[in-house]
């Protein structure tokens, strides 16, 4: 049937009947299960993970630790989805990773590590928890939507598919913006509104809605001030930098360096941060190389006037700013220092490096 077909009374009636029929296939209730009960039922195979469509246990330790820490902090946990079955057991439709993480922790097979808030618990197992909090953890309830045993396998698979594919996962830049609200984050937002930055650093409207411009500004300050301490994980590096500067930073110095950098780029870089003259977006690696390299050079010579910009078209610069060169510590240092050195080439202050 074509979607462009006229919507008359007959079609409305057919649609109404279809909705009613399919809604009858999804009958459910909501239950609260304490963690110790949930884990015990899982161990006894009363709550089980179906092989037909479920994923393997794929959570990394960072996922497990974050989940356990959330429970210990008393944070709300998203609903799980189970289904009653004909044999009286419960099939886990959504919540398999969480259930297995709970079981692993209570089995003392998970050692807490890299906790962001409960840092004193790093190195603890379940048995190491103070007794009061162990009991509190055990009795914490998970809210579960349980489908009736009349729910067909097709509907269960459909629910699993929709839960795991609907929507777009939040990007680190979106999560960071919500997690680290404060003076530093407000300062970064202010920088994204700088008219010269907007001119030389194009960001599409869709990317702006996901705070790509904020991400670029943060990367500039984080790498400029701390690139020599970068190891490998960019998101962790940026999170730590925001946390360190969240409420205490030199706004005037930061603002001055940012404005001086974008002004220099506007004056001497024909395409700004663009790869080509008419590009509508800004590659992150290229932005990092140019912005940080420029700022490093200007720290050495605030009155810098580069002798030549021909290196922008060189194969070496292209190698430094291709996407695959992004996250190695040596490559991060290599690309920002390459831009710095090219700008200072022939300058009397170059000996200050």
Q: Tens digit of pLDDT for each residue in 166-179?
A: 666 667 777 777 77
Which residues are within 8 A (CB) of 225 and not within 5 positions of it... i.e. 6 or more apart? 241
Tens digit of pLDDT for each residue in 25-60?
677 889 999 999 999 999 999 999 887 666 677 788
Distance separating alpha carbons of residues 290 and 164, to the nearest angstrom: 38
DSSP characters over 116-158: SS-GGGTT--GGGS-HHHHHHHHHPEEEEEEE-TTS-HHHHHH
Alpha carbon 92 to its chain's center: 26
Between 2-11, 81-90, 292-301, the lowest mean confidence (pLDDT) is in: 2-11
pLDDT band at 122 (very low <50, low <70, confident <90, very high): very high
- pLDDT tens by residue, 251-289: 999 999 999 999 999 999 999 999 888 888 899 999 999
For helices 251-268 and 284-300, angle between their N-to-C axes, nearest 10 degrees: 110
**pLDDT band, residue 140 (cuts 50/70/90):** very high
For residues 199 and 80, give the distance between their C-alpha atoms in angstroms, rounded to a whole number: 46
pLDDT of residue 28: 82
* pLDDT at residue 4, as a whole number: 61
172 touches 238 (CB < 8 A): yes
Q: CB-based burial of residue 202 (10 Å sphere; 0-12 exposed, 13-18 middle, 19+ buried)?
A: middle
Q: For the chain, give the mean pLDDT.
A: 88
The pLDDT tens digits for 5-23 are 788 888 888 888 888 777 7
Asked if pLDDT for residue 1 goes beyond 50, the answer is no
Cα–Cα distance measured from residue 266 to residue 318, given in angstroms and rounded to the nearest whole number: 20
* CB-based contact 108:39 (threshold 8 Å): no
Low-confidence winner among 27-36, 136-145, 326-335, 343-352 (lowest mean pLDDT): 343-352
Higher pLDDT, 3 or 120: 120
Q: Specify the 3-state DSSP secondary structure of 322.
A: coil
What are the backbone angles phi and psi of residue 148, rounded to the nearest 5°?
A: -70, 160
Residues 6+ apart with CB under 8 A from 102: 35, 38, 39, 68
CB 263 within 8 A of CB 200: no
């Amino acid at each position: 049937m074509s979607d462009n077909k006229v919507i008359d009374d007959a079609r409305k009636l057919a649609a109404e009947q279809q909705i009613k029929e399919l809604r009858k296939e999804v009958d459910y209730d909501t239950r609260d299960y304490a963690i110790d009960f949930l884990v015990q039922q899982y161990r006894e195979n009363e709550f089980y993970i179906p092989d037909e469509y479920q994923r393997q246990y794929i959570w990394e330790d960072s996922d497990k630790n974050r989940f356990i820490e959330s429970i210990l902090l008393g944070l709300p946990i998203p609903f799980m989805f189970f289904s009653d079955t004909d044999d009286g057991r419960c099939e886990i439709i959504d919540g398999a990773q969480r259930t297995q993480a709970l079981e692993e922790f209570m089995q003392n097979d998970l050692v807490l590590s890299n906790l962001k808030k409960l840092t004193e618990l790093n190195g603890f197992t379940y048995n190491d928890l103070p007794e009061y909090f162990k009991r509190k953890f055990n009795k914490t309830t998970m809210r579960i939507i349980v489908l009736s045993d009349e729910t067909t396998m097709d509907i269960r698979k459909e629910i699993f598919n929709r839960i795991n594919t609907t929507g777009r996962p939040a990007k680190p830049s979106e999560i960071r913006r919500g997690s680290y609200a404060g003076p530093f984050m407000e300062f970064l937002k202010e920088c994204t509104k700088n008219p010269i930055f907007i001119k030389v650093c194009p960001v599409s409207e869709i990317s702006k809605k996901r705070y790509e411009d904020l991400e670029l500004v943060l990367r500039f300050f984080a790498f400029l001030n701390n690139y020599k301490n970068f190891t490998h994980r960019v998101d962790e590096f940026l999170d730590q930098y925001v946390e360190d500067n969240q409420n205490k930073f030199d706004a005037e110095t930061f603002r001055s360096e940012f404005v001086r950098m974008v002004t220099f780029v506007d004056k001497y870089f024909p395409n700004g941060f663009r790869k080509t003259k008419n590009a509508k977006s800004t590659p992150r690696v290229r932005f990092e190389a140019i912005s940080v390299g420029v700022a490093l050079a200007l720290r050495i010579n605030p009155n810098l006037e580069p002798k030549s910009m021909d290196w922008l078209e060189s194969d070496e610069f292209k190698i430094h700013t291709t996407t695959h060169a992004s996250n190695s510590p040596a490559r991060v240092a290599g690309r920002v220092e390459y831009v710095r050195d090219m700008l200072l080439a022939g300058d009397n202050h170059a000996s200050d490096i």
